[in-house]
Chain A
Amino acid sequence: MTAKEDVTPTRGGSATGCDSTREFASAVDVSHLRRTYGTTVAVDDVSFSVAQGEIFGILGPNGAGKTTTVECVIGLRTPDSGAIRVMGVDPQLDRAKLHAIVGVQLQASALPGVLKVGEILRLYRSFYRDGADVEELLDAFGLAEKRDAYYKSLSGGLKQRLSIALAIIGRPKLAVLDEMTTGLDPQARRDTWSLIETFRDRGVTLILVTHYMDEAERLCDRVALLDQGRIVAVDTPEGLADRTGVDKRVRFVPSKAFDDALLTVLPEVSSVEHDGEHVIVTGSGQLANVVILTLAAAGVTANELHLDSANLEDAFVQLTGRHLHEDSIGRIHQ
């Protein structure tokens, strides 16, 4: 069950935070978190709430404070100030309870190289009273064939898969995955994404830390954009993209000629242009759907359809005035 319908955390994360009532609305509440290392302010006044069952992204360039933020959430670091509650638990006060309900995948590889995949799963399973079935996890994560392989012999993608499996082996209520696809080849990244999408069915609330825009767009219900230790915005990926005010563009080859007025009368459409046999429609809202439906009603099929829309990358540039250091991930192609 996703709790998204029941609970709508306040946009921008102005959560009340330290609500200690037993019936907590959100899985995670972070309010006014601040953490410094010496004179460097890693995280400053960061507030957000994660709803139960939600996949929540924390997105930003390297050094934005993403990892520090989640390390405070999972109790690995002590905040200088601010309040954190994870399922009603204060990570600093009750680490034992926290670790029983939170599963973690950390950035660096952190398992003994000479243990086998099956042995590692068995070991970590033994840490929890109520945990997932090792055999089921081996199958679900495509690791069954690698059960007798040493950890050190695994490819980066398989190591990452094992690491994610360990994050949910204790049937956590919250799983925190830090840079889960960094260093993976594109196929391994897509495989990992497919796995994450099955997490919804497991009823796990997820916090994903990433600096990949496409990853956040594909997986996350909502995203917190972090830059230089501060939250720039918290919204759905679409909501963030909409904030850029950048027009959407639909490009296609019609199956037969049609009157431009068919489209220009639509409120979503701002202009229609022709480029050889291609038609380019600019506008906003559910532009592609509206165009396709309208054309279909007139007996016209839109072939070679191609949609350009603002994405998180645009949103990030718009909101911070800076580019992510990463190569710009392609626009959405449909």
Chain B
Amino acid sequence: MSSQASALQAKPPRSAFGELLRSELLVAWRVPLGLLIGVAVPVLVLLIFGAVPGMNKTEKSLDGLTFFDVYFPVLVAFVSAVLSLISLPTHLATYREQGILRRMSTTPVPPTSMLAAQVVINLALTAIALGIIVVVGMAGFGLGAPKQAGGFILALALTVASMFAIGLWIAAIARSAAIAGGIGQLFLFPLLFFAGLWIPRELMTPVLRDISDWFPLGASVQALQSSMQGVFPSAESLLVMAAWALAFGALAVRFFRWE
């Protein structure tokens, strides 16, 4: 055995990641936690919206927007949050709890590939859910294209990045799937509250809205909403999201364990 040949042998084949992604997709399909909470729930919400009359009528109390206009960024935030904060960490914590990551770490394919596969799958689910929301919004609720497309894409990217960073941090520190789910919900509900899921930001008291500005989904909804209306998101809202993404991303990297 020459050392060159063995060095070549040490690398996993290129197809390995594709195979890993394939089997993780099978798992995601057979244990459809992400599909249910990330895709089915927002679709259900849209159906409810559709049943409520007047969702696409403008409201004075909502700064002249329709209810759907107000809820569209909140739905975007919701989808990104549940997939990142619940689906991703629960799955990874289960894999660690069951020793699946540890088993993988004895193969030429590093467990970071599993992390990558899970991020890809949850990103794909996020994209599917967003696609459904946009299509239904355009067809049924008069949703138009964002008037500030660049700002919208930037705001969306930072929303997803900040949520994934928190999700990966939860996956990093949670000892079990149950704990991961618990921490995920601990983050999910306050974040969604400040995103305006229960009280739209437009109806929040000034103090609440100020607090909301400092939370990633509050900043996200603010940035997405202003892009929709044609105003480039404020630097403040973009920086808030970037800061959360960087802080939790760094914590996730620092504390990640495979077993």
Contacts and interface: CB of A to CB of B under 8 A. Distances in A.
Q: Report if A and B associate in a common complex.
A: yes
Interface of A: 22, 74-76, 87, 94, 96-97, 99-102, 104, 106, 108-112, 114-115, 119-120, 122-124, 126-130, 170
Interface of B: 1, 3, 6-13, 15-16, 18-20, 22-23, 26-27, 30-31, 95, 98-100, 102-103, 105-109
Given A101-B6, A126-B13, A106 B23 contact: no
Given A96-B10, A97-B7, A114-B27, A128 B108 contact: yes
Nearest to B28: A114
B100 A112 contact: yes
Given A127-B12, A129-B8, A99 B99 contact: no
Contacts of B16: 126-127
A122 B12 CA distance: 14
Main secondary structure of the interface of B (DSSP, over half): helix
Nearest to B258: A76
A103 to B, nearest CB: 8
Contacts of B13: 126-129
> Which 6 pairs between the two chains have the least Cβ-Cβ distance?
A110-B103, A126-B19, A110-B99, A114-B30, A104-B106, A97-B10
A111 B100 contact: yes
Contacts of B107: 99, 124, 127-128, 170
B9 A101 contact: yes
A74 B10 contact: no
Contacts of B20: 123, 126
A106 B102 CA distance: 9
Contact of A127 (B1, B102, B108): B108
B116 to A, nearest CB: 15
A76 B3 CA distance: 23
B4 to A, nearest CB: 12
Nearest to A122: B19
Contacts of A109: 98-99
Contacts of B95: 112
A100 B100 contact: no
Contacts of B10: 94, 96-97, 99-100
Contacts of A119: 23, 26
A76 B102 contact: yes
B258 to A, nearest CB: 9
Contacts of A110: 98-100, 102-103
Nearest to A116: B26
Name the residue in A114, A120, A123, A130 with the highest tally of chain B Cβ atoms < 10 Å from its Cβ: A123
Contacts of A120: 23
A172 to B, nearest CB: 10
A130 B9 contact: yes
9 contacts: A22-B3, A76-B105, A97-B7, A99-B107, A106-B102, A109-B99, A127-B13, A127-B107, A170-B107
Contacts of B6: 97, 100-101
A22 B95 CA distance: 38
Contact of A106 (B9, B12, B103): B103
Contact of A100 (B15, B31, B108): B108
A110 B259 CA distance: 11
